[in-house]
Amino acid sequence: MFNNREELQQYCQQNDVKMIDFKMIDLVGRWRHLTIPVERFTEETLTNGIGFDASNYGFAPLEKSDMVFIPDLKSAFTDPFCKVSTINMIGDVFVIGNPHRPFDQDPRIIANAAEAYLSSTGIADEIRIGPEFEFFIFDHVSYETLPQRTGFRIDAKQAEWNSGNDDANLGFKVPHKGGYHIDVPFDNLYDLRSEICLLLEERGVVVKYHHHEVAGPGQVEIEVEFDNLRAMADKTMLLKYIVRNAAYNAGKSATFMPKPILGEAGNGLHVHMHLFKNKQPVFYDEKGYAGLSKEALYFIGGILRHAPAISALANPSTNSYKRLVPGYEAPVNICYASANRSAVIRIPDYAVQPDKKRFEYRAGDCTCNPYLAYSAMLMAGIDGMLNKIDPAENGYGPYDVNLYNLPESEKKKIKSLPSSLDEALTALENDYEFLLAGNVFTKRLLEVWVEQKRKESKAIALVPNPAEFGMYYDL
């Protein structure tokens, strides 16, 4: 938004801005923030940054936890939710020194390094990413995990289960699994989504479209136009911030949790991607399969070969693997196909122009840290291109059929994504070298990531599940 501090100062004076808020990404993918009065934002802030305890962000050990973050003026945006006029901007983490040096575990710096590595290979000089964001908007959510009581309750006024509710019921409930593109008045979230999209557009996130999704109880989608990897990771965080706070201000609660409702479709993060070199598309070949070039197929081959390891970064929650099951529009089969939503990689038939030719990785979800997940996808694709990993020759397809309807003998030939977080973490431990190329990821970061996620998995495994009482209480 701003090229220098003078532009920021001028804007703040003209618009009576009182506070500067800094957004910082932690290891697992949550924004944290620190705020200063606008008068305290000086050239020193941009040179030496602001000190903080990085150990509380999940990165550095306690004995080396003092670090600084330096704000990125170009990432600045006005905050529509603060009562006190506020400008937000994202910061990068630096190790204290003379001069400070970029911290190699900072997710935003890793995303920068991934794009730089792509350019250094000569394969391409630009990756463009376009995600589809699925999420639920509920009217009520409560949960607890106590020794004597464990459970959760959610509600959405439009849900089919409220059809018999006598409390000011006007009908028009969305049928079970019947929400895809459903119209108003069933779609009672339409106006809120439009308001969210306008807030995004005003802050540089170009919206392709929005609509109601498959699940009846408040599942919706916003798809955005393409941008470069780090810029899209920034926009992913901004979108989640806007969605959550706009819903909260409307008296509702938004969640990107992959599988909050039993028996309904889950929330995915479908990531469309394609490469360019000197502004020319790398992925297009009129004579190739589905219009894709050999380079594109090699890129796909790399992603599919490393898909189990990618899952540890793109599906990093225990809840992720309650979504990645057959029958709920979530892909579990490691293969590719044209216009086939049951494959991990789908090539859209409607993208026919050379600069539109692309594919989408359908397995990810928004519990990921987007900087790490997008970077991992790119690194896997680069590995495929450098090593000419042909997906057809390696048994990844193409499968232009509904994979769930294949005979069992054929299904057994197709490898599946991990079925649990622990399985995905083991896959990452056994296959991480492709991430270290070009010094993009560090082995230490991956070790810290696995350690953190193992703790989460273990903590969840210790909690008695209410369904277990029905299965085992009487045995």
The one catalytic residue in 212, 270, 274, 306 is: 270
Catalytic-residue membership of 212: no
The one catalytic residue in 134, 285, 329, 365 is: 134
Distance of alpha carbon 352 from alpha carbon 369, whole angstroms = 31
The one catalytic residue in 341, 400, 431, 454 is: 341
The one catalytic residue in 53, 429, 447, 451 is: 53
Catalytic-residue membership of 329: no
The one catalytic residue in 92, 106, 187, 221 is: 221
The candidate with the shortest Cα–Cα distance to 190, out of 163, 169, 220, is 220
The one catalytic residue in 212, 362, 365, 383 is: 362
Residues paired with 144 in a beta bridge = 151
Catalytic-residue membership of 468: no
Catalytic-residue membership of 201: no
The one catalytic residue in 79, 106, 187, 360 is: 360
Catalytic-residue membership of 213: yes
Distance of alpha carbon 351 from alpha carbon 208, whole angstroms = 14
Q: How many beta carbons lie within 10 A of that of residue 177, not counting itself?
A: 16
Catalytic-residue membership of 270: yes
The two three-digit tokens of residue 188, written as one number: 């009672």
The one catalytic residue in 92, 106, 115, 132 is: 132
The one catalytic residue in 79, 187, 213, 285 is: 213
Catalytic-residue membership of 132: yes
Q: Supply φ then ψ for residue 442, to 5 degrees.
A: -110, 150
Distance of alpha carbon 223 from alpha carbon 130, whole angstroms = 8
Residues marked as catalytic: 53, 132, 134, 213, 221, 270, 341, 360, 362
